[in-house]
Amino acid sequence: MKYVVIQLFLVCSISLMICGVLEAKQTVIVGMDRSYAPYAFLDANGNPTGFEADLIAQVAKRSGWIVEYRVDKWSTITKDFDDGKIDLLTGYIQTEQRTEHHVFSNPHTYVHYSVFQRKGSAEIREWSDLNGKELLIETDDISQEIISTKQIMANKTFVDDYSQVLSMLSRGQGDVSIMPKILGTNYIKVKRLNNLISTSALDFAYPYCMSTNREKSYLIYTVNLALEQMEDDGTLGELRKKWFVSDYNLPNRRILSRTSLLLFLSVVIAFALIIGFFLIFYRKFLAKQTEYIQEQIREKEEVNRELGIVHSLYIDGPVIFMKWHDMDKEMFKFVSQNISTLGYLAEDFINGTIHYRDIIHPEDIIKILADRQVHINNKDLSYQQEYRILCPSELISSSDSPAYHMLKLQNPVLEKAQSITIRWVKDHTVIIPATDTEPCTFQGYIFDITDQHNHNTELQTNRLIAESADQSKDIFLASITDEVKKPIKLLNESIVKLSRTQPSDEQNDALIKIYSSSYRLDNIITQIHKYIRYSKNDYVPANVWINLQYAIESILTDMQIRSAAQNITFDCSYPRDSIKLFMNHQYFDDAINIIFDNALKFTSAGAIDLHILFEKVSAIDGILTINICDEGEGIPPDRLEYIFKPFTQVDASYTRVHGGLGLGLAILSRIMEHSDGKVTIKNRETGGTELTITWNVPYKS
């Protein structure tokens, strides 16, 4: 018996040693996608890299495997996997359908899928929005199962890899695509496919695991052990941080077992029951204490509120309150103490020493009493008046004021004062109609508006000065431009005469430069004339019926020639149905020429698109929209609010390069003000600016 036990022990030991050697030298064929960054892809040297490559390397290190990589396009990898040529997939999304044929490990990450589409297309918000669309899908991708499960009726086009899918979608092939969000976003950034976006309305996630065929399920047991070790020692977390910017790819750190979950829930329920019983017994005591404290707080707040109102209204407040009856005798029932700010005491009005009319400026009293009577006759419940109050002053009187001599005898306070100051007040009076027991009562609320009145007077004076300065400026500019136009005209005529004398090449170049400068100066003077003309409020040209198509085509040829001269691509779309609009022809021509000149001036290369649209709102009225987009330098955001001001350009360097006085958009703004139009300007995301003009105009066919 002893020898039998020894023999069995030796056999088991040898068997274990052989298994260990076999296990240590086990070769595992691992399949990976070649273009699934950052999960799996090939580096510059053609070696497999990415999150999955680092992950399988760690698993192999802990399991004693020798890894043989098979890296190819995904459709080829999945076919070889199904045929048994590959032992293990490092990344495979787990679904119910796939679970029937394959075994999956615990998820090491989650893959978030999203819908990608071109900018400007109708946004996909519901699964039903995909019906009838042309979907671009990678061959053998999980999105095929998603489309089938959601019962989406769409045309599907299968492509070898995601990179090709996004390139086709960017070029206008297909309508949408479904793919991993992080992968699609990475491709868009690397390949600069700026016309593509992902919609977050249909984002969804799948567990991302390692997988084998059922015949090799023992490999998954080894993988799960290695993943648990990597989770515990932090290796798996370091790999996630290395390859993923955000943590939305991370699964739950540890899936609780059913027993642990039940135990945890039992503890929570027990704790909740204990707290519930405690709250039930403590509730009555807490309710009584809370009610008592709240009542004390309410009483204290009410007292403080009443005291504060009384103090602020009647002592420190800016509003003087008066209550009286008998319009002729002015019998006061109440006057707030803050009337002392005007130099009077409330007691003087209540005991009849002073009547309120005695402190009103003599030039205002007749109008005030007359207006009061009108409001009473009209049975108005309230009215407002502004007038002057005579107030006693401690200043030494420097002159004999007529108002002082007039009122000093009937106003004892003014009689004792050394001088009189004048304050402006706003009086809001409420009329309370008489009842069977009470006479008609007046409540007055007096505001001191002296500072405001003086400020308004100063503003009015400054406005008149500014208007006078603007008028002088316009006269000066008009005079200067008239004087400059005459020599420019003579200069141009001289240039034409000299050009006919067969000058030399050098002389001809000089004449061309002189003529170009003269033409540029003439345009500047013309702009100044237009700015002065449109700045005048009395300049309102008459509206006429214009044919929209003819009006556009009359200036279109010049725009095409000038664009071609600068190698700028110019495109224009406009209505061709011979509709007639009732508007000012000069406004229309000037507005289009200004926005085109502005776009052409600041676009050194690229394209200019001019779109004119008329939308009928009713049988007689419609909206004319003129939109122009350029691919120029754009406008700094901090300069947008100044762009319509005269003599303003985006930058002083622009003036040196492009010329001009910065009057174009200022003239356009004046045109919009005169014609009740609207103009907006903004920077485009792709570069350049977009300017839009709208007019509400009558029309007829």
Tell me whether residue 175 is in a domain: yes
pLDDT at 489: 74
Same domain, residue pair 358 and 432: yes
Beta bridge partners of 137: 158
pLDDT at 7: 45
Q: Is the pLDDT of residue 396 over 50?
A: no
Pairing, β 109-118 against β 102-104: unpaired
Which of 182, 208, 234 is where one domain is finished? 208
* CATH number, residue 188: 3.40.190.10
Beta bridge partners of 690: 629, 682
Same domain, residue pair 398 and 478: no
Tell me whether residue 558 is in a domain: yes
Which of 469, 499, 534 is where one domain is finished? 534
Same domain, residue pair 520 and 654: no
Same domain, residue pair 496 and 601: no
Tell me whether residue 16 is in a domain: no
Tell me whether residue 305 is in a domain: no
First to last CA, the chain: 117
Residue, of 84 and 640, whose pLDDT is higher: 84
Q: Residues 269-286: pLDDT tens digits?
A: 988 888 888 888 778 777
pLDDT at 678: 93
Helix (H) or strand (E) holding 235: helix 235-243
* CATH number, residue 365: 3.30.450.20
- For helices 548-565 and 585-601, what crossing angle results, to 10°? 20
What sign for the dihedral angle of Cα 342, 344, 347, 351?
A: negative
**C-alpha angle with apex 224: 220 to 225, nearest 5 degrees?**
120
Same domain, residue pair 426 and 350: yes
What letter would DSSP give residue 360?
A: B
Same domain, residue pair 384 and 441: yes
Same domain, residue pair 462 and 349: no
Q: Is the pLDDT of residue 257 over 60?
A: no
Same domain, residue pair 517 and 605: no
Helix (H) or strand (E) holding 556: helix 548-565
pLDDT at 86: 93
Same domain, residue pair 400 and 493: no
263-267, 360-364, 446-450, 563-567: segment of lowest average pLDDT: 263-267
Q: Is the pLDDT of residue 675 over 80?
A: yes
pLDDT at 405: 54
Q: How confident is the model at residue 133 (pLDDT cuts 50, 70, 90)?
A: confident
Q: Is the pLDDT of residue 539 over 70?
A: no
Tell me whether residue 57 is in a domain: no
User: Could you give the percent of the chain with pLDDT greater than 90?
Assistant: 18
Tell me whether residue 127 is in a domain: yes
Same domain, residue pair 437 and 475: no
Which of 412, 427, 448 is where one domain is finished? 448
Tell me whether residue 213 is in a domain: no
Domain around 170: 109-208
Same domain, residue pair 572 and 687: yes
How many helices (H) and strands (E) would you count in the chain? 20, 24
Residue, of 211 and 282, whose pLDDT is higher: 211
Q: Model's pTM, two decimal places?
A: 0.36
Q: Is the pLDDT of residue 622 over 90?
A: yes
Q: How confident is the model at residue 6 (pLDDT cuts 50, 70, 90)?
A: very low
Same domain, residue pair 155 and 123: yes
Residue, of 569 and 262, whose pLDDT is higher: 569
Kindly report the three-state secondary structure assignment for every residue of 88-145. Answer: EEEEEECCHHHHCCEEECCCCEEEEEEEEEECCCCCCCCHHHHCCCEEEEECCCCHHH
Report the number of distinct structural domains present in the chain: 4
Averaged pLDDT for residues 245-270 = 59
Rounded to the nearest integer, the mean pLDDT of the chain is 80
CA atoms within 13 A on the CB side of 582: 8
pLDDT at 95: 82
Tell me whether residue 229 is in a domain: no
Asked whether the beta carbons of 185 and 194 are under 8 A apart, the reply is: no
